Chains A and B, each alone.
Chain A
Amino acid sequence: MASISARRLSKELMEIKNDGCPVGINLIKADDFSTWWFTIEVMGESLYQNEQFTLQFRFDPQYPISSPAVQFIVTEGKQAPVHPHVYSNGHICASILGNEWSPVLSVIAVCVTLQSMLASCKEKQRPIDNDRYVKHAPENPKKTRFHYDGECQCYRIIPIQDLTIRFL
């Protein structure tokens, strides 16, 4: 049902335009109902002071029943934040983007959650399996099956079809 995603996204866009974004979050580009870009900054005293990151949202026709594909942009000189749940290619391991996504959340809600995830980080480090993951990562982070472990670093399991393609 493409219309449900279009209607919902247009509603969200209108809300953003009318009510504005929360502090530290800015909508850069929302030309269509497939890809949106935001910049995100962590306010106040944090490890990421004065750092600005670019967040990309990709919606499929099943939005909001299916979650959007969210990742940090790492091209054109931009960097992904150094965080235990953020891989160096911009993929994010967050439960609200996976099994805890529900239609009651919205784009702004995801941005705010990610902002607070960055703000609450105690130590700037990459995930444990960062190098291994980045070598074999799929293009779309939704193809990766992340294992959500509350405290420690997250690991991921690549779905079978990608493995077979790689080894053939």
Chain B
Amino acid sequence: MCNSRVFFLSPMSNPASTPASGRRPTLDDLTNEFERKIPTINDLRMKECYICRDEERYDDPPSKRREWVHPCKCTLIAHQSCLKELISSRPTRRPQCPQCGYEYQTKRNFPLLASSLLFQIGDTLFQAMGMSFVATSAVGLGAFGVMSVVAVGTGYGAIAVREYFGSPLFDLLLTDSPTNWSIGHHFFLFLTPLRLVSPLVNIGAFTPFFFLWPSLPPHSARTQLVAESQRIDADFPSLPITPKSSWPPSMRTFGCIMLGSSILYNRLFPPFAEWVLGMKRPRPRGFLQGISFRREVRRQERPDGVQEFEQEAIIQVGQEDNPEESDTPYGNLDGVTQYPNISLMIGLLKPFVASGMGHLLYLGAQHSRVLRLVLGIRHPIDTPILYSSPRFVPDLEDNVWYWRYFTETTVQQMDPVWIRNSVGLGIFIVVKDCVHLFHIWLTRRELASRRLKNRDFSGVDPKELDLIRPVGPTGTNEVPPA
């Protein structure tokens, strides 16, 4: 189908090639002329487009002249329009000649190209803008999500702290609006739910706060206090400041007490648990088990937490390497009796538990003077909170020393809610651990008492068995050989 019908027209006589001698041109002269002149598409006698197969003779043009093109190296030719349509029908493929494979070269109109390029640039710009808008909003949404998590955590932390320490202290030193909190407070408030939930930290969830309370009230609270104290001052004559007593202890002292007691508890409870259950725990292995490694690391970071749960977790993992344990391994028992979700809920509820226990203790203290002394409870009506009168001190708002002193005395006079809350929480935790221990002990007893049921050899051929009195062929028992 590849028609090689290519006919050359007769060459025109070229005066330059006529030999100077004036004789008639020979065949050699004519051949030279052929070689010198390279034919183009217009020299063809019969043109056939390989796409539409239309034919055109050189001397008989059709009514509508169509433009021809020879775009490659072989003999295929086509109409410009047919070829353009072919190329445009397959925009992804590079156009090449089906016979010789030569890639078609296109000539472009430069002014048109430049203007279309401008539009293309505009399009790309708009698309980039659209993409960046989408990306920014996605990032914004992500950041919003993170921030809302942080906000929830911090809000919970604030509520927890208020429950635990009592609202008078909270309103004085931290207040409800987060703008008054420093960065450290934000951070620890956000961490509080995590600390509560984590099984490492038992009683000491609030320990950092004992050391973190600001030494002066925030700015907005100060103005309010000044106004209020001026009012109080008008009603009451100034009373002498009560001397500082060593009991109840100040915030920092109490924090140290808490720290010490939680460490002590952590040291003492595991041996107690072992004694109750009558088993030895395997010593915590180091860095080989995955879970135990992680918990080990965390233990170093937080020395104040109680590590009882952590050690139990280690046992769970390290069980495979300790086959010489007594009949029921501790870890299996613990796996039976401990539910991870319970500790999560208990952790989150701890502040409320603490405040509830504190309230119970308060009620108990109404009837017992000893308890009242120990917990340092003050009846709010007996001794009104006396703010030292501010009217003697000029430039109140910014006087740091004054406010420090003010805070100290105020806190000293406040009803130490946190003390009874901490004590209550401590009692609760001790009771909870004992209950858990009891649960484990019961489980152990129950597991130890399990027995496999005994069955007789009813399905087995007696001759297979090695009996003391073997059954003979008659089916009766024979006397065993001496």
User: What is the CB-to-nearest-CB distance from A5 to chain B, in angstroms, rounded to a whole number?
Assistant: 9
Contact B54 A7 (CB under 8 A): yes
Q: Determine which of B53, B76, B86, B89 lies in contact with A11 in the assembled complex, contact meaning CB atoms within 8 Å.
A: B53
Contact B89 A104 (CB under 8 A): no
Q: Range of interface residues on chain A?
A: 10 to 19
Contact A104 B85 (CB under 8 A): no
Contact A65 B98 (CB under 8 A): no
B interface residues, how many (CB within 8 angstroms): 15
Contact B98 A106 (CB under 8 A): no
Q: Which residues of A contact B54 (CB under 8 A)?
A: 7
Contact A104 B86 (CB under 8 A): no
User: What is the CB-to-nearest-CB distance from B315 to chain A, in angstroms, rounded to a whole number?
Assistant: 52
User: What is the CB-to-nearest-CB distance from B37 to chain A, in angstroms, rounded to a whole number?
Assistant: 28
Q: Which residues of B contact A65 (CB under 8 A)?
A: 51, 85-86, 89
Contact B89 A106 (CB under 8 A): no
Q: Which residues of B contact A66 (CB under 8 A)?
A: 89
Contact B1 A103 (CB under 8 A): no
Query: Binary interface profile of A, 1-26, with partner B (CB < 8 Å = 1, else 0)?
Result: 10010011001100000000000000
Q: Which residues of A contact B381 (CB under 8 A)?
A: none
Q: Which residues of A contact B99 (CB under 8 A)?
A: 104
Q: Determine which of B1, B2, B76, B89 lies in contact with A62 in the assembled complex, contact meaning CB atoms within 8 Å.
A: B89
Q: How far is the CA of A11 from the CA of B111 in the complex (A)?
A: 41
Q: Which residues of A contact B209 (CB under 8 A)?
A: none
Question: B88 — nearest CB in chain A belongs to which residue?
Answer: A65
Q: Determine which of A12, A104, A109 lies in contact with B50 in the assembled complex, contact meaning CB atoms within 8 Å.
A: A104
What number of residue pairs across chains A and B have CB atoms under 8 A from each other?
38
Q: Which residues of B contact A8 (CB under 8 A)?
A: 51-53
Is A68 an interface residue, CB under 8 A from the partner?
A: no
**Looking at A64, A66, A105, which has the most chain B CB atoms within 10 Å of its CB?**
A64
Contact B51 A106 (CB under 8 A): no
- Give the contacts of B34-69 with A (CB-CB under 8 A): 50-54
Label chain B's interface by main secondary structure: loop
Contact A103 B51 (CB under 8 A): yes
Label chain A's interface by main secondary structure: loop
- Give the contacts of B67-90 with A (CB-CB under 8 A): 76, 82, 85-86, 89
Question: A5 — nearest CB in chain B belongs to which residue?
Answer: B52
Contact A104 B53 (CB under 8 A): no
- Give the contacts of A62-95 with B (CB-CB under 8 A): 62, 64-66
Q: How far is the CA of A109 from the CA of B85 in the complex (A)?
A: 22
**Looking at A62, A64, A65, A103, which has the most chain B CB atoms within 10 Å of its CB?**
A103
Contact B52 A104 (CB under 8 A): no
Query: Binary interface profile of B, 424-435, with partner A (CB < 8 Å = 1, else 0)?
Result: 000000000000
Query: Binary interface profile of B, 92-124, with partner A (CB < 8 Å = 1, else 0)?
Result: 010000110000000000000000000000000
Contact B52 A7 (CB under 8 A): yes
Contact B86 A106 (CB under 8 A): no
Residues of B within 8 A of A (CB): 1-2, 50-54, 76, 82, 85-86, 89, 93, 98-99
Going nearest first, the 3 A-B pairs with the smallest beta carbon separation are A102-B98, A103-B51, A104-B98
Ordered by A's residue number, 13 sampled pairs between the chains whose C-beta atoms are within 8 Å are A4-B51, A7-B53, A8-B52, A12-B53, A62-B89, A65-B85, A65-B89, A66-B89, A99-B93, A103-B50, A103-B51, A104-B98, A104-B99
